[in-house]
Amino acid sequence: DKPNMWTMTIREPLGVVAAVVPWNSQLFLVAVKIGPALAAGNTVVLKASEHASAPMLEFAKVFEEAGFPPGVFNVISGLGEPCGRALTSHPLVDRISFTGGPETARHVVRNSAENFAQVSLELGGKSPVVIFDDADLESATNGVLLSIFSASGQSCVAGSRLLLHESIHDEVLARVAEKASKIRIGDPLDENSQMGPLATQAQLNNIDSTVADAKANGATLVHGGKQPAGLGDGWYYEPTVVACPDQQIGIVQRELFGPVVSALRFTDEAHALQLANDCRFGLAAGIFTADIGRALRITKGIRCGIVWVNTYRMVSPLAPFGGYKDSGYGRESGLEAIYDYTRPKTVWLNTSPDPIADPFVMQ
């Protein structure tokens, strides 16, 4: 709209990106951070989890062997307080990409404030799986197992809240319990195992006490709820299904990071949405229904960053990944990730042969 003026917007790399990842799904989480960060022209310093540093140190060797220049991708390891704090408060860090829990994330944001570093947060979840009475129940119950029992439920997108239409509530719980009873629990290095152990003793203790608290508050244990026999002293826990009287008890509201799903019944679409949104997290959701119109209505009404309809856990480097509310902000993957790792610069180019006529008149 300005004669003899060309305007362009270019995107430039930020500089140094600090990436912080937890112990679970490390290769995936690192790939979706450093891929777009490096592609956009940044360098990366990765802080590995103190619970599983070795894989990331080996990953750094792969970068070196692939011929990346020294300093482009770097890995540090250590405890979160001294090591993570030093990284996220460093004045030369331009962006922080953090995956982990909300409480640690608050420290990260405070650390970043001194230098105004940009921050993206991919945090926890308490994702609902909503099953309507017209759903294919065989497919839906397989979806439940996929959502909560793969990786022993140790996933931010785990479908740990099961919302069932009242007319199919009992049938679906029976089907899920039957399928859960057939899951082969064992050493993850054994190719016959389908579900391995939890990561820490503290995690096991937390899950065990939360299930006990749910039972004390009126919940019904449908399946599991204890350590399986015959697996020694490992931190194994049975795939567990708990029918809950209401959505306010701890097992429904708190992220457990384990193979435990809490079930609630709903009466209609509005009730399903109310239950789905009654949570401080908003990462993902699953919907199972034969009615595409209903699926789209629920998708629009649910407050979360990812919705799977008649499937679960589908991911792609082409699709943005991230959440709402206490599940964080910013996006991994997709075009949004490239935008997150660059900053825009607006350029004005005067093509007029005439000089600026009057310096006190805005054009």
pLDDT of residue 207: 97
Q: Identify the pLDDT of residue 81.
A: 80
- Residue-wise pLDDT for 185-199, tens only, equals 999 999 999 999 999
- 141: containing domain: 128-309
| Shared-domain flag, residues 301 and 338 | no
Do 145 and 286 share a domain, yes or no?
A: yes
- Considering the domain architecture, whether residues 208 and 163 belong to the same structural domain is answered as yes
Residues 16 and 144 reside in one and the same domain: no
Q: Which DSSP string corresponds to 160-184?
A: -EEEEETTTHHHHHHHHHHHHHT--
Answer whether residue 13 is part of any domain: yes
Question: Do 152 and 288 lie in a common domain?
Answer: yes
**CA–CA separation, 225 and 313 (whole Å):** 25
> Is 353 a member of any domain?
no
- The residues, any chain, with a CB within 8 Å of residue 255's CB and separated by 6 or more, are 101, 124, 125, 126, 160, 281
Calpha distance 269→243 (Å, rounded): 20
The strand pair at 284-288 and 328-329 is best described as unpaired
Residue 260 CA to residue 347 CA, distance in Å, equals 54
- Cβ proximity of 70 and 44 under 8 Å: no
The verdict on whether 156 is a catalytic residue reads yes
- Examine the domain organization and report whether 244 and 214 are in the same domain: yes
Task: Find out whether 144 and 239 touch, Cβ atoms under 8 Å.
Answer: no
Contacts of 205 (CB under 8 A, 6+ apart): none
Within a domain: residue 103?
yes
> Annotated catalytic residue: which of 114, 122, 171, 304?
122
Report the distance separating Cα 321 and Cα 118, nearest Å.
18
Give the domain CATH number at 104.
Answer: 3.40.605.10
Strand pairing partners for 75? 46
Same-domain status, 88 and 186: no
Q: Are residues 139 and 249 in the same domain?
A: yes
Asked if 146 and 88 sit in the same domain, the reply is no
Residue 158 falls inside a structural domain: yes
Q: Is 233 domain-assigned?
A: yes
Q: Give the separation between CA 221 and CA 113, rounded to whole angstroms.
A: 45
Please indicate, yes or no, whether residues 339 and 236 belong to a single structural domain of this protein: no
**Which residue blocks in the chain are alpha helix, DSSP H?**
26-39, 54-65, 85-88, 102-113, 137-148, 169-181, 201-216, 250-253, 269-277, 292-301, 334-340
The backbone region for 361, taken as left when phi is positive above 0, alpha when psi lies in -120 to 50, beta otherwise, is: beta
Q: How far apart are CA 158 and CA 129, in angstroms?
A: 9
Question: What is the per-residue pLDDT for 354?
Answer: 76
Q: What is the pLDDT of residue 52?
A: 87
* Domains contained in the chain, number: 2
Q: Are 160 and 145 in contact (CB under 8 A)?
A: no
> For the chain, which residues score pLDDT lower than 50?
none
The reported pLDDT for the residue numbered 145 is 98
User: Residue 80 has what pLDDT?
Assistant: 79
From the candidates 156, 244, 279, 304, give the one annotated as an active-site residue: 156
How far apart, in Å, are the Cα atoms of 273 and each of 124, 160, 253? Answer: 20, 16, 15
Q: With respect to residue 315, please indicate whether it lies within any of the assigned structural domains.
A: no
- Token code pair at residue 177: 């319990």
Distance CA 260, CA 237 (A): 9
Task: Give the span between the Cα atoms of 165 and 265, in whole angstroms.
Answer: 6
In-domain check, residue 358: no
Residues 197 and 284 in one domain: yes
CATH code where residue 258 lies: 3.40.309.10
Instruction: Clarify whether residues 297 and 148 are in a common domain.
Output: yes
In a domain, 360, yes or no: no
